[in-house]
Structure 1
Amino acid sequence: MTTSPSLSRPTRFWLVFATLGALSFDPAVADAEVAGDGLRLAHRELLVLEMLMRRAEWVLMRAAVEKAVYGYDDQIASNILDAHISRLRQKLEAVGRAWAIL
């Protein structure tokens, strides 16, 4: 994800369907599913999920995830990314999937 000089929000340049095991993400319609069952995720949770899925085999720096999820002008509380990841974990566990998001 990159940020346009005239905009403060991240813009997408990857509009490719992603799958990781039973988890799938379609950025064209901002939709995530586990084994065909839809996940109800907030916008920022979807952005976190997309970033983590696209780089599943890498260890990501916190700053890289924040840059992908938030615009330059966003006021970010110190624990907001932790809150998004926590809710994402809960929602994945609720559908019977316990992926490790560290």
Structure 2
Amino acid sequence: MRVLLVEDDLSLASGLESALGREGFAVNHVARGRDALAALRAESHDTVILDLGLPDMDGLQVLAELRAAGDRTPVLLLTARGEADDKVVGLDRGADDYLAKPFDMQELAARLRVIARRLSTTASNRVIVGAVALDSAAHSVTVDGAPVQLPRREYMLLKALMENAGKVLTRSTLENHLYSWGEEVSSNALEVHIHHLRRKLPEGFIRTVRGIGYSIALT
């Protein structure tokens, strides 16, 4: 899941990037509202985490401009404001959820997973394709009931493929799921992850579509 984090507190932003990265999210960060709007015009994201107290414009204004432009990307608001009115206005302007600072990092990750489920064709944390089961809440994978240990990137890659079983995901789409802005990515990094995954999964589970990308067949 690709997340755009809009937060001017650089210490908090750094902590969120690290914590959410460990939970399997690819996080891109901007500190200003105008930069957020420009980023969303340039590239698609699955979710926006939007702080209300930004230095150049109010987060509610960012949300209003986003929705006025027809962008329906889910938005989770972060606010240090205690007044209920701010939350109500945010939800009325098209926000999907909100959290008041300070908040628990695990709760934020759980709320992002709820948003991901809304976007997905699945209605639960578990995705099962053939002998392979992935549980996003437990961050676990099993093959024929036996647990399989996957590093973070391999887990993120498998999750993207399984949640889109039956579809072909392009190389660029998969790289966007795995890497945040500014990360150095070698030219064969994706192929290396696919190779390692295939060694741990049933034969033929991940299919190469030459010149396009990879897919998992619905079974």
TM class by smaller structure = 0.7 to 0.9
1:82 aligns with 2:191: yes
Name the counterpart of 1:100.
206
Letter of the 1:101 counterpart: R
Q: CA deviation at 1:101?
A: 2.8
Gaps of 5+ in 1: none
Name the counterpart of 1:64.
173
Q: What are the equivalent positions in structure 2 for 1:1-102 lying under 5 Å apart?
A: 1-6=1-6, 9=21, 10=26, 12-13=112-113, 14=116, 16-92=125-201, 97-98=202-203, 99-102=205-208
CA contact (8 A) 1:44 1:69 kept: yes
CA contact (8 A) 1:89 1:101 kept: no
Larger strand share, 1 or 2? 2
TM-score scaled by length of structure 1:
0.85
Distance in 1 between residues matched to 2:206 and 2:171, nearest whole Å:
16
Letter of the 1:50 counterpart: K
User: C-alpha root-mean-square deviation of aligned residues, in Å?
Assistant: 1.8
Give the length in aligned residue pairs: 98
Gaps of 5+ in 2: 7-12, 28-111, 118-124, 209-219
Letter of the 1:3 counterpart: V
Q: CA deviation at 1:4?
A: 2.3
Larger helix share, 1 or 2? 2
TM-score scaled by length of structure 2:
0.42
Distance in 1 between residues matched to 2:175 and 2:206, nearest whole Å:
19
Distance in 1 between residues matched to 2:140 and 2:182, nearest whole Å:
26
Distance in 2 between residues matched to 1:36 and 1:27, nearest whole Å:
16
Post-superposition Cα deviations, 1:8-58, rounded to whole Å, max 9, x if no partner, equal 552654262111011100111210001110011111000010011011111
Q: SS of 1:28's equivalent?
A: coil
